[in-house]
Chain A
Amino acid sequence: MSSVETAPVGTGAPIPPDRIVNDFSIQVATVNGSGSQSANLVLLRSLFQMGIPVSGKNLFPSNIAGLPTWYTIRTNKKGYIGRKKEIDFMVAMNAETAREDVLDLPSGAAVVYDEPLHLDAVRTDLHFYPVPFTKIVTPVCPNAKLRKLVKNIIYDGVLAWLLGIELEEIYKALLKQFSTKPKAAELNWNAVQAGYEFAKENLPKTDPFYVERMNATKGKIIIEGNAAAALGSIFAGVSVVTWYPITPSSSLAETLTDYARKYRIDKETGTANFAIVQAEDELASIGMALGAGWAGARSMTATAGPGISLMSEFVGLGYFAEIPVVIFDVQRMGPSTGLPTRTAQGDLIACATLSHGDTFHPMLIPSSPEECFEMAGQAFDLAEELQTPIFVMLDLDLGMNYWMADKFEYPTKPFNRGKVLDSEDLDRRGVFERYRDVDGDGICYRTLPGTENPLAAYFTRGTGHNEAAQYSERPDDWTRNMDRLARKYKTARAKMPAPEIDEVEEASIGLIVCGTTHFAAVESRDQLSSEQGLQTSYLRVRGFPFNRDIIDFIRGHDRVYIVDQNRDGQLLQLIRADCPAEMVSRLRSVRYYGGLPIDSRTITDSILEQEGL
């Protein structure tokens, strides 16, 4: 540690301002694999249990142990849960990054740090709280091997004292975190208390940050988007799940496996009404999911960018042979391997048109755990209704971070299994042609393998085919089929979930966003309004192909800012392709692609700059 080699930075001791209650962010800097995740979740949950709106974001390396990791918790009484750029309260546990962590803080921030790091020598304008973690942990954790893991939870006790977190809530959160390990819960509880006692006796409070009990989280849950999507799939009757491990989507399949084992095993026979297969790669996971969809099962896979690239050929087959399947893409930063543990909305264009030739694929774009749950259900209905691959576009921020959410509503609608003919239907019709557009909506009738009727069989292929599913190279057969698929696109458009719209009458500018950008955008609109008096209308896209409401929204505003979490403005590009030429000039772009969840200030500043304000 070289923190004392240079002169301290700052303008003198901080002046204590007024109390700042339930409106600040805490960042914990630790080393990956040191047990800090438990300590952070207990902290998050304690605040949540105190009724304070809270969000937690894990900024972690692509590594299992040893590299720096940061966990940011934001409390906000107004309910803003997007990322906040500035850190107000730092817990510096990692010698590697401590100096830089502290130098990045805004003046007046508070720092709890591991005493030997001597961070108080780095700056003069912060509130410093040195804590001898090693000294405190020794008596409460006699087993030297466990000390490294228990050491971190001590800062929960220290923060409880400094911020006013109720110890009872920390205890409850601990029991939840270690529900299957009562011994670990006790050990950690002792450490929390030791931290609290130390702080009470040795750390006079000088910073302005406090938490106070509220009533804003009653009836809510805390959940990751991946778990919500997994639950949505479970309650939507998914029966074949094929996947290949990849960050940040693995936990979707893993959580799904846990819930399926608990809730989808027949109690009498002990048999499973689901099959979950970890495939050899993404080529196989999508192939299996398609095979299962073809044979009539509700099937899905979950992946991220590199997996999407590998699935490209099969997804084209799924589109062309018209096979239902649901693909969850938990987006991470690309291109290539990119930043596997950082978030982005970088696969929008790739998924919308994945594979060679003329294709399109419907996408559902959730922004919250509630929508992950609901849209998972919708995706299985749409896949079978439209007989085509459906993408559900999460991102790492939504999928892997913990979010406050309303309790999920129990779905009551029957599954929509689409146009499937059984043996009796075939007898009644007397004729079956797999790719004939009987209803004029571009969606044809299909039969499932195993249907006991000599009319049922057809040949599924990725090569050119006529209405009777026979191989054909005739230009008219090919064109007719492609035109019908285009008709299906129109049908799909009407079935996509409508956007969320907040139209403000006096607003001449509008914002269009999708997915997790929502949380920063909501806050940004308030900033624009309160700081500059700038009123904005708002539209959040929830599905592709786009609903016509989007065009009406653009028509109703002079300038429309489309906010993207990618470099090339992918949402903008997709909307522009749909937009009448005379309205294209109204479209403007706000882009962020640093890998962290977008924050409100980035949006606000970009809009103000473009507005010349």
Chain B
Amino acid sequence: MSTAAAPPPKKVNRIGLELKQYRGLKTTLCAGCGHNSISERIIECCFEMGIDPQRVIKLSGIGCSSKSPAYFLNTSHAFNAVHGRMPSVATGAMLANHKLIALGVTGDGDSASIGIGQFVHLMRRNLPIIYVIEDNGCYGLTKGQFSATADLGSTLKTGVANDLPPIDTCALAIELGATFVARSFSGDKKQLQSILKAGLSHHGTVMIDVISPCVTFNDHSGSTKSYSYVRDHRHDLNAVDFVPFFDEIHVEDEIEPGELREVTLHDGSTLLLKKIEEGYDPSDMMAAVKTLHEHAQRGQVLTGVFYVNTEKSDFIELLNLTDAPLWQVSESNGGRPQESALAEIMEELS
């Protein structure tokens, strides 16, 4: 990398791009919105991992969260779909070109209410996608109504209490077949970075629920998704570290080998989970769901990587597609069967 040129070389990543080439437009979300922190983490992670932004598609639905793809990766194609139905658009796009990297950004309203049907079937298909729910427990863009992830008993700014139980998108995703399921907090830079980077190395559906307080409508004392509430009640399941496959893999000194669980991801990189819970095994689906429910009952916001499965085929593999992306199918490469095929069919029908 080093050259003899006089000016100090700009800091570039392994594909020769600078950090600024991963940026997007200036955000129009509220100052202090957790979503902006998530956008920052996405920018840093894609830069540090050397992801080619031209291979990335940014997908979103409708809502504050779904506006955020405009604020990162300016040289990636983006698709702002209809409310709750980004998963189907992502699925179609990946079918057309499975070489793309799908990065979906959605909200709790978009995914857990209007889009729960598509969320369910996306998880079930294990489509290769990083699916980030920016979860603030409310509808920000329509001024603060409850969403389906709002906790029982949490209140609106007006004092109205929520009397319905929340949907735990992580427990649901695990049960449905997503192969990388995690929860983090927009205010925890290090953990969110590690999880996002590991997710970028995984093949299959990566479902990350990021608690992202709404500073305008849901950052008051009655909310269970405010900054102060999450800081006071969060409980880390595991300390997450991530070693990209292109770095030399090493174990940090302070981690006792007996406390480490290494998960080798598809591209050869390693996810290091420092176990805090006794006997927690991220490949055990049943244990993951149980742990989530137990902590929810205690009123704790559990964060970390709950479940990883590197064995299961993703949706593209199941379809046994040609290596060339389907958009390239043309009349000259098999997209139009031979004349003899039509003659054969006509003969059968006559």
Contact = CB atoms under 8 A, between A and B. Distances in A.
A242 B78 contact: no
A460 to B, nearest CB: 5
Contact of A292 (B77, B96, B321, B331): B96
Given A314-B85, A450-B55, A460-B79, A294 B336 contact: no
A293 B92 contact: yes
B337 A235 contact: yes
B323 interface: yes
26 contacts: A222-B349, A223-B349, A235-B342, A239-B326, A239-B327, A273-B322, A283-B117, A284-B121, A285-B88, A290-B89, A291-B79, A292-B95, A295-B93, A296-B96, A296-B325, A297-B326, A298-B329, A415-B330, A417-B330, A449-B76, A450-B77, A454-B54, A457-B75, A458-B77, A459-B70, A459-B80
A285 B85 CA distance: 11
**Nearest 3 pairs between A and B by C-beta?**
A291-B92, A287-B88, A296-B327
A270 interface: yes
Size class of the B contact interface (CB-based, 8 Å): 35 or more
A259 B341 CA distance: 10
Interface stretch (A113-121, A128-136, A274-282, A385-393): A274-282
Interface of B: 53-55, 57, 69-70, 74-82, 85, 87-97, 99-100, 117-118, 120-121, 319-331, 333-337, 339, 341-343, 345-346, 349-350
Contacts of B57: 295, 449-450
A317 interface: yes
A459 B99 CA distance: 20
A288 B92 contact: yes
A295 B327 contact: yes
Contact of A294 (B53, B79, B333, B334): B79
Nearest to B76: A457
B117 A450 contact: no
A223 to B, nearest CB: 5
Size class of the A contact interface (CB-based, 8 Å): 35 or more
A576 interface: no
B95 A297 contact: yes
Given A273-B322, A287-B92, A299-B92, A280 B118 contact: yes
Contacts of A288: 88-89, 91-92, 95
B80 A462 contact: yes
Given A414-B331, A459-B80, A450 B99 contact: yes
Interface of A: 219-223, 231, 234-237, 239-240, 242, 259, 263-264, 266, 269-275, 277, 279-281, 283-299, 313-314, 317, 407-408, 410-411, 414-415, 417, 447-454, 456-463, 471
A411 B99 CA distance: 30
Contact of A283 (B92, B99, B118, B350): B118
A280 B120 CA distance: 10
A410 B342 contact: yes
Contacts of A459: 69-70, 78, 80
A264 B80 contact: no
A273 B335 contact: yes
A283 B337 contact: no
A264 B342 CA distance: 12
B336 A240 contact: no
Contact of A272 (B93, B321, B325, B336): B321
B138 to A, nearest CB: 21
A510 to B, nearest CB: 35
Contacts of A235: 336-337, 342
A299 B92 CA distance: 9
Contact of B330 (A237, A293, A410, A457): A237
B54 A240 contact: no
Given A280-B117, A448-B77, A457-B75, 4 more contacts: A236-B336, A295-B93, A411-B336, A454-B54
B97 A457 contact: no
A281 B79 contact: no
